[in-house]
Amino acid sequence: MPSAPLPGPTAAAPADAPAEAAAGVPPRPAARGARGRRALRWALGGLAALAALLLLAAAALWWWLPSDAELARRAGDGAGDWLGVPVTVERLEWQLLPSPRVQLFGVRTEQEEPVTAGRIVADARWSDLLHRRLALTRLRLEDARVPQRSLGTFDVRKAGEETAPRLPFTLADIPVERAEWSGVRWIGRTGRALDYGGSVDFDAQWRPRRAELEREGVQPLTRLRIEREGTEDRWKAEVSAGGRTEQGTLRLQVLGARYRVTGAIDFSGVDVVALLGAFDRRSAVSGLARGHTDLIAEGADAAEAVRALHTRTRFTVVRARLLTFDLERAVRSAGTHKGGTTALDSLSGEVRTEADAADGTIVRYSHLEATSGVLTATGDAVLQNRRVSGHVAVDLVDGVVGVPLEFGGTVDEPTLTLPAAALAGAAVGTVIAPGVGTALGARIGETVRRIFGGGGEEAAPPPKPAQRSRPAR
């Protein structure tokens, strides 16, 4: 029986190969390699075509998209429509990967005192954008300049108003998850500039979950931190100022279409000079303060509530010192002595602050009571636009009672003088009772003025007060 030929690498395929394939016999290796090469060529050709199409699509998209300069112009126009004042954007940069981000540089409002921002960064998620949902994961503001007077000219358009710009997105339950800011310079109505930094994480309905606001570049630490208590409209507050950290509370109430924020905090051992110095204010008194502060703010929105903020603080300062006047010498000189300091055993009173849309914050001091080894004093004062006005009555322990003095001038250069009627009374008092002295005469004149309604011609300066011997101490 003849043997079958042995297969080799160059052996030709037998004539009955198709029959073998039909019978289920696997094709020979040479046939499989040829088909694989043909499939590979088809795949490579398809990929090349797809790459060409993608390149064409990218080129078309690049041609269709506006330039960065045009996008910056559109961003400025959109912001201007929202704020009601013209806005320019110097440069805009954007990216799609790994996540969407837009950066604005050189943002500026067209106002007499412009609001500016060196850089604004907005980050988002693809999942939100693909569902046409506006939700920023982070919004960051850097190197901004915010004049208080300029904010009053904004006319912010709210969603739903006919004049509000239409967006191709719907607002998410939490439109901004986190906001951050640094190098933000707040410029008050009087020109005082204060730098702030901080952050806030939001829950739904713009409720802060936690937030922090800090005065940048000052010591000791001056900072406010709040943290929400569960889902309630209550927050724990931590206030660091004047070398102390105290705990307080904040509460939000919704009253129809208005919002009311109330808060309270107890404090002790607060360095008054350091506290006011952190806000670039000069303190008239040194010492350590203790007391209690309440605040209330109410408005149709957050901005209006801040503008309507009122606070009331009851305080006592131990080991106090009046840094601007020597009250005893002012009394004995009928108000002619200037400057000096007054050591006090204690100083107590109440201070209220209230926002004023036209002239800024008004600070009212009332029920002021000061005591020392040589005097007691009571009075009141008002501070607004860095100007001071007020009254104080001083009693000296050696019998000079109720001498009226008036505060005036500015925070930087305050004055303490006798009122005109009291000056006239000082002259009369010296004649009527020269042994008692000019100071008591001043009180007599002031009392007469109050009884008869005051008025009359301006009095001449009183004569030099009589010298009095002081009791040995």
342-376 burial, b if ≥16 CB within 10 A, otherwise e? bebeebbbebebebeeeebbebbbeebebbbeebb
Q: Report yes or no: 449 and 421 within 8 Å, Cβ to Cβ.
A: yes
Q: Report yes or no: 134 and 117 within 8 Å, Cβ to Cβ.
A: no
**Residues 210-229: what's their mean pLDDT?**
96
pLDDT at 245 over 70: yes
Q: What is the mean pLDDT of the chain?
A: 78
pTM: 0.73
Report the run of H or E that residue 383 belongs to, with start and end.
strand 375-384
pLDDT of residue 308: 87
- Segment 141-173, tens digit of pLDDT: 999 999 988 887 777 765 445 554 555 678 889
Q: How confident is the model at residue 410 (pLDDT cuts 50, 70, 90)?
A: confident
Tell me the residue ranges of DSSP E strands in 25-114: 87-95, 101-109
pLDDT of residue 321: 93
pLDDT of residue 163: 52
User: How much of the chain exceeds pLDDT 70, in percent?
Assistant: 70
pLDDT of residue 41: 58
pLDDT at 414 over 80: yes
Query: Could you tell me which residues come within 8 angstroms of residue 459 by beta carbon, excluding any fewer than 6 positions away?
Result: 420, 421, 423, 424, 427
Bridging pattern class, strands 178-187 and 133-147: parallel
pLDDT of residue 169: 72
pLDDT of residue 458: 40
pLDDT at 230 over 80: yes
- Segment 417-471, tens digit of pLDDT: 877 666 555 544 444 444 444 544 555 455 545 444 444 444 444 444 444 444 4
**Residues 385-405: what's their mean pLDDT?**
82
pLDDT at 258 over 50: yes
Q: How confident is the model at residue 183 (pLDDT cuts 50, 70, 90)?
A: very high
- Segment 32-54, tens digit of pLDDT: 566 666 655 555 555 555 555 55
pLDDT of residue 428: 47
Q: How confident is the model at residue 132 (pLDDT cuts 50, 70, 90)?
A: confident
Q: How many CB atoms lie within 10 A of CB 128?
A: 16
